[in-house]
Amino acid sequence: MPSHNYFTSSIGKKQITAITGLGLVGFTAAHLAGNLLILVGADAFNAYGHGLISNPLIYVAEAILLAMFVTHIVMAALVTIQNTAARGKRYYIKNRSGHGETIASMTMPYTGIIMLVFIILHLINFKYGAHYETTVDGVVMRDLFKLVVEYFSNPLYVAWYVFAMIALGLHVGHGLQSSLQTWGLNHPSYTPKVKMISVAYGVLVAIGYSGLAVYCYFLN
């Protein structure tokens, strides 16, 4: 019999952190895909946003997303504390695996904190921000496009957003490969490919989101 519960064990916390992290990586990609409709135009982006919020399942999706996010934060913090206690120093300061450490791996706790601050501000500024209305194909809906473009008219907001998205890229890039390795995808023949794909994903996320902010700035 195991001496402790799966959810309090070291491997349990790591696996839960990994699986919730993969879920959030998927959300990051889906959210970016939706945001790219900004490039298509105001009507396309507003119709997309309206379609999301008018779907009754949005509340279920938001509850699941919130649960994943909170669980990921709590478990990641517990893993960090556990490794700190076990090694006498934070796990991200000294990598004993022999594979070396990167900026992304060393800054995971910090980029995670940046993401937490960013999400809180993001919700305040966009989800609960100013409410404008527009009509698309005869349907009255919130003009999110106007709100987004208006927000990014301030270069300081653009700079903060780009900074946060670089942190996001670092976090999800390393988090993706780390999560996959936690679940056993770790072998000399394909681990380098997993790392390459993960880094590429992080770069695309950072460029994709940041590029949209810069694009909106030049629409003003």
Domain boundaries, given as residue ranges, for the chain: 7-217
Tokens 């999400």 belong to which residue?
119
CB within 8 Å of 48: residues ≥ 6 apart: 34, 37
CA 34 – CA 41 distance, rounded (Å): 12
Tokens 């209305």 belong to which residue?
133
The CATH number of the structural domain formed by 7-217 is 1.20.1300.10
> Are the C-beta atoms of residues 167 and 115 closer than 8 Å to each other?
yes
pTM to 2 decimal places: 0.87
Q: Which of 104, 211, 123 is nearest to 161 (CA)?
A: 211
Give the distance from CA 161 to its chain's centroid. 13
**Structure tokens, 11:** 């491997």
pLDDT per residue of the chain (220 residues) written in tens, 0 to 9: 444 587 778 888 889 999 999 999 999 999 999 999 999 999 999 999 999 999 999 999 999 999 999 999 999 998 888 877 766 554 444 444 445 578 888 899 999 999 999 999 999 999 999 999 999 999 999 999 999 999 999 999 999 999 999 999 999 999 999 998 888 777 777 788 889 999 999 999 999 999 999 999 999 8
Q: Which of 145, 79, 151 is nearest to 112 (CA)?
A: 79
CA atoms within 13 A on the CB side of 31: 12
